[in-house]
Amino acid sequence: MTKLLTIAGLGPGDQNMVTPCVQEAISSATDVVGYIPYVARIPPRDGLALHPSDNRVEIERAEFALDMAASGKRVLIVSSGDPGIFAMAAAVFEVLDKNPSRWTDVDIQILPGVTAMLAAAAKIGAPLGHDFCALNLSDNLKPWELIEKRLLLALEADFAMALYNPRSKSRPEGFEKVLTILKNKCSEDRSIVFARAISTPEERIKITTLALAKPEMADMQTIVIIGSSQTKVLSQNGKIFAYTPRHSKFDLSN
């Protein structure tokens, strides 16, 4: 019998954005493992055990799920958005890489999901329509110096950027530093989008400029999208959209 561990993305929040293959995995699982608010999105049913845990125990969560899968249970690890973007898929492979002989009989299946970056971009047009990058601003797993270096290099390359985990309650100063860097390096009319709790009843979206951006506009439920120098804002039928043209002219003389 094949022993299988499935790692799936639940999308940004709207149940309609959960893919059919993920819905099928949920319906066939015996055990669901994940961060507390993500497991809470799984409807309870007979024959299903839910195993919520804190967001600071990702490695332990991965080991727990692998052990259950090795015992023959149909285990599903859930992440919000896509499991391969700043989420549990990488954590599982980190565990496997350290002890490859322990779970040799467990097969791994990754089911993609709609990540918040793409859901937010779709709501406001096509700000990621040309080259872009995604940065995680949390310094839990990497030093702030590395975050700053990558931000500066992304600005030098003139990428549009999607910023995950921008401003935590415990360390709000990080995003303040980011805004200071952006305002020092970019024109004040550079587009910036704050998309909070995308696709949920609490959704809030604000398209503005760096000149008007404030740190308190973001929290850990917010995706911040920074336009490139080519990103444009337009109005269509009373709605505001932002997009980055595919045929952009970049000045590479600097």
Q: Where are the beta strands (DSSP E) in the chain?
A: 3-9, 31-35, 49-53, 75-79, 106-111, 125-126, 132-136, 160-164, 191-196, 204-209, 222-226, 232-236, 239-243
pTM of the model: 0.91
Residue 250 lies in a domain: no
Residue 251 lies in a domain: no
Q: How far apart are CA 18 and CA 11, in angstroms?
A: 6
| CATH number for the domain harbouring residue 131 | 3.30.950.10
Residue 254 lies in a domain: no
Contact indicator for 78, 38 with CB cutoff of 8 Å: yes
Contact indicator for 241, 125 with CB cutoff of 8 Å: yes
Residues 185, 122 share a domain: yes
Residue 248 lies in a domain: no
Could you tell me if residue 188 is left (phi over 0), alpha (psi between -120 and 50 degrees) or otherwise beta? Answer: alpha
User: Which of 72, 90, 114 corresponds to the end of one domain?
Assistant: 114
Tell me the pLDDT of the chain (254 aa) as tens digits.
679 999 999 999 999 999 999 999 999 999 999 999 999 999 999 999 999 999 889 999 999 999 999 999 999 999 999 999 999 999 999 999 999 899 999 999 999 999 999 999 999 999 999 999 999 999 888 999 999 999 999 999 999 999 999 998 878 888 999 999 999 999 999 999 999 999 999 999 999 999 999 999 999 999 999 999 999 999 998 899 999 999 866 655 54
Residue 188 lies in a domain: yes
Q: What's the structural domain count of the chain?
A: 2
